[in-house]
Each structure stands twice: as structure tokens, then as C-alpha cells.
Structure 1
Amino acid sequence: MTSITIYHNPRCGTSRNTLALIRNSGVEPEVIEYLKSPPRRETLVALIAATGHPVINAVRSKEALFTELNLGAPGVTDEQLIDAMAQHPILINRPIVVTPLGTRLCRPSEAVLDILPQRQQGAFSKEDGEVVIGANGQRAQGTDRPTSKP
């Protein structure tokens, strides 16, 4: 059985779409509602490192608390950003998905397709109606990345 974990916020449409895409591949992931069960600082550091992107990408810069804490000021370090996310999980950008093929911040939700070990099992449209996966289980026309391999 494939092991997939999603750090999920059920109030976020992107997170809900990502979770639905994982399930559309035939896998029921471990769902961690990170606002209820925040990752420990060490886990957060490991997740961010595994994405291969800068720490700032993992921070929700549009969150009011980001501004209140002055996290966008010159000289704010990665350590300070991580400390803020550990203390205030609302600042963690989501969803973060971990699969055997990698770890991604899945914004947009289709980014999860690149790290899913199994193909999509059927058509899929986002909550807003945008078609992502056609009836044949392949990415809809107009996308430039292939679906993950079986």
C-alpha cells in the first residue's frame, strides 16, 4: 500500500482539491489537520527541506498574522520564520503532501500529480468546475505537465 500524508486544512479549497486528487488515484492518505495537530518544529524543518524550496515559500504571507509579526521585514531569518510557523500553525502554507516520490507544497492543487505514485482513476474537476483530469485519467488539454506514472 502506498503511503501518502497530507498536511490539510479542510477550510481551504486548494487543500480539499488536493486531497480529492490523491483519493482519485485510489489511495486514502493519512490526513493531518495541521491546525488541530501542528507538526513539531523538527518535522516542519524536515518538510520544508524536502520540498527543495526556500522557507519563505512555506509561509502564508497573506495571513494577517504575517504582517502583525513583521515577518516580511528585511533581515527576518529562516529560523525566525520557522519559529513563527511552529508557534502559529495558521502561518503554514498548505497543503503539504508527502509521498514516496517526494514532498510538495501543492499550490496549485495539480502539483500533487507530479508526486503521486499511482495514476488518476477517472475524471476530476476542481470545486470551481475547472477540469483537471479527463475521462481517460490523463491531464486535461492545456496543461503542460504529464500525469504521474503508474
Structure 2
Amino acid sequence: MSMIEITADIEAIIKQAILSFVATVNEDGTPNLSPKASLTVRSGVLYFADIASPRTILNLKRNPAVEINAVDIFQRRGYRFKGRALILAPDDAEFLMIADWVRATNGPEYPVDHVVKIETTSITPLLSPAHVFADPPRSQDEIRSTYYQKYGVKPIGT
């Protein structure tokens, strides 16, 4: 399998987005969409932890097809990842690496029931119409400022 490069920008968007959305296929063929705050990149590979996602895991055991969206709500841009999910064994070094990170980030009481490694088959940029249709084009700073206002937040330190 050829590796698709996860760039520094992709990694930064995943960190800034915090929440990403993982789509799997239910047994009856309908979509299942599950929010994840545990999407992370290690050595160019995507992982997420199952903290409270029994349906996601059940679906992936039956059908490993997965799509993930990570979008920075203030930059109005992100990435779509398509691929196959691999559910790691609890004694796997990669499982332990991600489980340790989840607990270090969120607290030792967080259960990590599974760790999922994504074999990425495609990565596509996601851009809001704010990037595409504005005439004249708006800078990333202008877009960010607009959406800070819309969400009623201020960046730390301002």
C-alpha cells in the first residue's frame, strides 16, 4: 500500500479542530457519524481512540471502510480522509502509545477500549464557501476574524 503523506498543515488542522467526525457503515447500509476528540497523527499515521464509541467499533469490525472529516471551525477549512480502519490489539505498542496519550491529555479515568489505525487511501482538502466564492478573495486572517465574531469568542491573549 502506498503511503499518502500527512503534511504539517494536515497535522495542525487536526490539532486545532479538536473534534473530528468519523463515518462508518451500519449493518443495514445506513451511515453512522461519530464525533471524536481523539484523532491524532503519529509518524505520519492517523489514529483515534474508542472512548465511548461501541457502534463505530462494531461497524468497523464488519466493514473497515471509514471516512473522517477534520475542520477548523475558525479557519473554515480542513481535510477529508478516506481509508480502511485497523483495530489494534490492547498489547500492541501503537495501542499503548495512543492510550497513554489519551490518558495524559484527558485524565487517567478515561477508558480506552480500542485504538483504531487508519490506512489512508485519500486525503482531500475541505474548503468553506468563504474561501471559494468571496469576491474579492478574503485572507485567512479575515475569515478567522469573521468566524471568531460569529461564534462569539476571542483568541487567547487578545
**Is the TM value for this pair above 0.5?**
no
Q: Which has the larger radius of gyration?
A: 2
Task: Tell me which of the two structures has the higher relative contact order, counting C-alpha pairs closer than 8 angstroms and 6 or more residues apart.
Answer: 1
TM-score for the superposition, normalised by structure 2 = 0.27
TM-score for the superposition, normalised by structure 1 = 0.28
